[in-house]
Structure 1
């Protein structure tokens, strides 16, 4: 059983008898959709007054990009500091916060909710999978339907409250580009709009039918993808289109013109860089591998991955003191341990650029 049954395979046999009943009889959450596109500033102006009205509820705001999530977080934090809105526990989550801190912040969220402290959570999509929190109210930037359903699973999750509310908004950047288009495939977004059919409000007992229609529409858009899959199945990087041979750049297809670098944050583990250096200096290949494996948990807990693109003015050298093997050691000034984590807006939208 899953909240987002992947209907990719027509004719697949469902092993659970009368599985539709598990969806149809659910009435834990209600989704409201706004079709109006708004900028971050316009959204923020209305958000502050709304948050005061929701002061007695736990609220989570899920954004599509780290840039938009950081901007909303900073707006709310400043408003609390200036006492424009009532203070409450404020928690930020994204992949620019090291895993060690993310786990601690998630545990704080559990604690706040259990004590009815009504936390306000600002997050990217990292909240969607494997985080079993249960909040009263969610605001989510527009995304593919399966992502919407995933975040709905964090609202009134246990069904012990009145109907939970999930508001879907459509945020755009200063150059009028949707943040959802910067992250998700346009075909998935089109299929989402089609399956929702301009609905203003849908309840949980309608999720099954909407999801079924969503995946059916995706299957109909897969013709292009299947040409690539068939080419790869034949160990070829070329497929035919209208009699012409089209080359497939697999790396660009999966990642675009970008690469990823791993940065070590030393604020919570000052000895880690030296320990990595000592491990890499071990001459025996197997002893070196063993020592690096022994350090792998510490490395994972205290590192973030940053994607760079060719058009960016910043490079890894701008943020790192030095490099040890494949690991960049980040300057502490670029990491805010109590808030947003990595502070630089290297993905800040520019005119006529599609940012991922």
Structure 2
């Protein structure tokens, strides 16, 4: 089916017709890349080379020519996208186009003649949609690139390019009768309860009144603080009334390795039909393949509500129209989302007591009609006119796909022997010694690459090794907003062995002082914080 679809994209007279184009799949969030890679490997097998590129990429994974490849060459292969199929993130893709930095630009040529799949394209920031749409249209025109925009909530991206470009290339709907399929869906329904704002206790009362104790329930809120408050309050309630129910917590406040374990555990419970309650932030919306019986969602823009609904009755094997209750928990959403997006969503929901999934598409169309009618954002206008057309690379560098909502620090949680081994290897590289102890890298990089590694590596090998080790280290790192960090400041990394680093450190013997094994980094003051 994929081959058939790709043939449809090769137009008559196209010089690339008949060639095997490179396929580049870009995903908004790192946490679903591994899941996507497994699917691609299952489908493609050994018939093509798959490159996975993001900041946590493991450069030591298998390769057909690994026997002849040193680790620095492996880095070049990954960063230059030297593969038949490339899996990457929106950040890597768009910051490779909108940049003047050589390191990012060295893969730009790989877009020529390629098919680029943008998954969950609605995740692009609204303020940048006209800019990015104009960029995609221009790359398609001059590079012969084909873009496939995939989402259940199509944001009319190419139409937004008309705010910038005098002429936009024609698009092709790969599923022309898609509205028919949406109209046949009976999996979920929105049930809005937005008459008043709830605090944590009121929400818990609402939750216990709607949940029967036997179903798998998903609770998605807008701030980490609220998620921890709800999770902590639910623990004694469930222990007393429903001791057999499993309670799970998921957010970016826990290290990536722990998030992987939580998702795997949730999948197992759901497969075994065990009653489970998961309390989460928006991190579960990013393509996480879980299937709950009902959901509860703090008010968010419509597209986020639909994403949460996608984790309820996902496989359509439960009772039809499973409820997704929409509430407003105080003013948490104002910390995260634009007020006009919230106002539009609330106004659309206010017309209904219940909204079946058959009507979701109508709501989405109206929501994006309103988005499209807004004036061109200053962010898109300035970067396009001054940066791209004016060749002002300083202006282009202001493009940030992910907003920095406050200064953050990286805290390394040394909670296992593996974490300690990675930290030891990290120090070996940044300690300033000319030669390194190669045994410290055993088990961390491929043994065949290890045998080729010189005891006094070149500057390029050292940089590549550091890139590999920092990628592995990131599985034990939680990013903490500076405002929270000040209230429970961990130890500077230099206290570990005198090696200076920009990291902070939670030692093995002090984990409980700074880090909760279930909910993550501890904010002693309890101030408001997001994501």
Shift of 1:256: 6.1
Q: Equivalents in 2 of 1:254, 1:136: separation in Å?
A: 32
Shift of 1:146: 0.5
2:93 — aligned with what?
none
Q: Which has the higher contact order (CA 8 A, sep 6+)?
A: 1
Aligned pair partner of 1:286 in 457, 460, 466: 460
Within 5 A, what are the aligned runs for 1:343-354? 343-344=522-523, 348-349=527-528
Q: Equivalents in 2 of 1:199, 1:301: separation in Å?
A: 43
Q: Equivalents in 1 of 2:411, 2:473: separation in Å?
A: 9
The alpha-carbon distance between structure 1 residues 132 and 313, as it changes in their structure 2 partners (threshold 3 A), is closer
The alpha-carbon distance between structure 1 residues 73 and 313, as it changes in their structure 2 partners (threshold 3 A), is closer
Within 5 A, what are the aligned runs for 1:108-187? 108-163=265-320, 164-172=322-330, 178-187=331-340
2:372 — aligned with what?
219
Count of matched residue positions in the alignment of Structure 1 and Structure 2: 329
Contact map agreement 2:411 2:479 (CA 8 A) in 1: yes
1:243 — aligned with what?
none
Within 5 A, what are the aligned runs for 1:315-354? 315=486, 318-323=489-494, 324-331=500-507, 332=511, 333-337=513-517, 339-344=518-523, 348-349=527-528
Contact map agreement 1:280 1:288 (CA 8 A) in 2: no
Root-mean-square deviation (Å): 2.8
TM-score, normalised via structure 2 length: 0.57
Which structure has the larger Rg over C-alpha atoms?
2
Q: Equivalents in 1 of 2:488, 2:522: separation in Å?
A: 15
Q: Equivalents in 2 of 1:182, 1:301: separation in Å?
A: 27
Q: Equivalents in 2 of 1:276, 1:313: separation in Å?
A: 26
Shift of 1:273: 2.5
Contact map agreement 2:493 2:502 (CA 8 A) in 1: no
SS of structure 1 residue aligned to 2:523: coil
SS of structure 1 residue aligned to 2:157: coil
Shift of 1:7: 2.1
Q: Equivalents in 1 of 2:264, 2:244: separation in Å?
A: 20
Structure 1, unmatched stretches of 5+, are 173-177, 237-246
Aligned pair partner of 1:198 in 345, 351, 355: 351
1:274 — aligned with what?
424
Structure 2, unmatched stretches of 5+, are 1-149, 160-169, 388-394, 435-457, 495-499
The alpha-carbon distance between structure 1 residues 84 and 277, as it changes in their structure 2 partners (threshold 3 A), is same
2:156 — aligned with what?
7
Q: Equivalents in 1 of 2:327, 2:215: separation in Å?
A: 19
1:101 — aligned with what?
258
Q: Which has the higher helix share?
A: 2
Contact map agreement 1:58 1:119 (CA 8 A) in 2: yes
Contact map agreement 2:213 2:242 (CA 8 A) in 1: no
The alpha-carbon distance between structure 1 residues 290 and 317, as it changes in their structure 2 partners (threshold 3 A), is farther
